[in-house]
Amino acid sequence: MRVNIKNTITAGVDVGAATAKTVIVTDGKILSHAVIPTGDSVARAAEKVTAAALEEAGLSMPDLGFVISTGYGRNGVAFANKAVTEIICHAKGVNFLIPAARTVIDIGGQDSKVIGVREDGNVSDFVMNDKCAAGTGRFLEVMADVLGLDIEEMGPVSLTSKEPCLISSTCTIFAETEMVSLRAEGRTREDLVAGIHRAVASRVAVMGRTVGYREQVVFTGGVAKNIGVKNALESGIGLPILIPEEPQIIGALGAALLARNELS
């Protein structure tokens, strides 16, 4: 796309494993955002989600001064002027919304990250897991399927647990087997779900120790919508956690803000 320096409206497009997100900003304000499933084509998802965000803002593609793509599909967004990693974008997006944030925990569909954030929104250090489904949204999806639950139900269900199960396997496949055994032992659905949340949180909490957890800790990504994982993470790292209103769009927001910097 041609860079239009006269136009201060910019967009960030985050194409993740599960969902594609676009955020449109101008002068430090979010004009609109959209989220859709990524589906089978990164290019199509990017176009579709950006069109949706533009429509919501009453804009069209030529109105955008600069577009930055991010996420695992960042290099497949043909209309983007630049691609930036989601780690940098998450730090920037969180810093914009919560300037006191110093640590970001991002759990998405296929990976998880712990990011150290400087006062200026730049990354100080990071660690990432994208080799193993345990500790990611995918792990939760598999377990929800085993239990016959919708993914959205898991958080509220876990809150009524009296005695969370201990899921000792760190591998998704073995954890699934373990779940089936625990269910056969008669453990309640609530305890099983709470145990699953603990397993995810424990995996991420340990991974992030190399970066270190400093307040304020902010939780982003689709999994941040799960209150059970949030609670388990707080207990795992021993610090309170904030969740932005729309945790899924933080990467796209950061990308849109970085795009704005490109114009200046």
Partner 1 sequence: MYTELLKLCGFEPDEIKRERPRVDRAFAKLGLDEEDFRRGEWRLKEYLDIELLGLRKFLGIWMRELVNLVLAREEHDKIVYSDFPMELRPLMSMMLSTDEKEVYFGVPGQIINMTMGQIFDKITPYIEVGEESGMPPGAAHCALYQTRLGAMVKGVIPFPDLSVIASYHCDQPAEAEELLHEVYGVPVAYLDSCSDPNWGDWPKFNDSRVRYCSSQASRMFRMFEEIIGCQMTEEAIRTANRSNAIFRLTFQALIELIGHADPQPISQASLAHAFFLNSMPTRDIEGKQQALEILAEEVKQRVERGEGILEKGAPGVFCTATISVDPSITRMIERTGLAIRIQIPNWLSPWVLTKHPYREWSDMIGVGPCLDIPHSCEAHCLINLENCKAFNVDGAINFYPYSCREWVPTVIITKRMIEKELGIPVLVLEGDCYDTRNYSAGQLRTRVETFAELVKAHKAAKAA
Please give the residue ranges that form the binding site for partner 1 (CB under 8 A): 72, 84-88, 122-128, 130-131, 210
State in angstroms the smallest separation of the CB of 75 from partner 1: 9
Nearest residue (CB) to partner 1, 124 versus 216: 124
Residue with tokens 């073995």: 174
Nearest residue (CB) to partner 1, 102 versus 197: 102
DSSP state of 245: S
Q: Which ranges of 14-105 would DSSP assign to H, the alpha helix?
A: 42-57, 86-97
State in angstroms the smallest separation of the CB of 18 from partner 1: 16
* C-alpha distance from residue 46 to each of 40, 61, 111, 121, 163 (Å): 11, 13, 20, 25, 43
State in angstroms the smallest separation of the CB of 227 from partner 1: 28
Nearest residue (CB) to partner 1, 53 versus 84: 84
Q: Are 47 and 80 in contact (CB under 8 A)?
A: no
State in angstroms the smallest separation of the CB of 190 from partner 1: 34
State in angstroms the smallest separation of the CB of 84 from partner 1: 8
Nearest residue (CB) to partner 1, 169 versus 235: 169
Q: What is the DSSP string of 178-190?
A: HHHHHHHTT--HH
Q: What is the DSSP string of 188-217?
A: -HHHHHHHHHHHHHHHHHHHGGGT---SSE
* C-alpha distance from residue 3 to each of 28, 47, 92 (Å): 19, 18, 21
Nearest residue (CB) to partner 1, 14 versus 190: 14
